[in-house]
Amino acid sequence: MCWDVFISLVLMVSCFTTPFDLAFPQILEEAPAYAAFSSAMDVLFLVDIIINFFSAYEDEYYATQDDFKVIAKTYLRGWFIVDLLAIVPMDWFLPNK
């Protein structure tokens, strides 16, 4: 539960920093501390994806599912794509100016 609260706070910070990233890319590129901070947030989201593959959950019958194959299958069918797209740098897909 502590991890979920922590990653939620990181997500809230990301909600505030993303508009600045989009609005002022040249200014932010000149700030190496901000680039390191942004990269650290991406790493935290990657760690969250890994943790989700190993975290037990309660199914619709309130039974705890702790089998790795069941957890991975459920996560891959659920939030995995959204989480993966959230950590992929968008500048990989945008044309260079």
pLDDT at 23 exceeding the cut of 70: yes
pLDDT classification of 96: cutoffs 50, 70, 90: low
Predicted confidence (pLDDT) per residue in 77-86, tens digit: 999 999 998 8
Q: Give the three-state DSSP class for 58.
A: strand
pLDDT at 28 exceeding the cut of 80: no
Predicted confidence (pLDDT) per residue in 37-85, tens digit: 988 999 999 999 999 999 989 988 999 999 999 999 999 999 999 999 8
**Interaxial angle between packed helices 32-54 and 80-87, expressed in degrees from 0 to 180 and rounded to the nearest 10:** 160
Task: Give the whole-angstrom CA distance, residue 27 versus residue 17.
Answer: 13
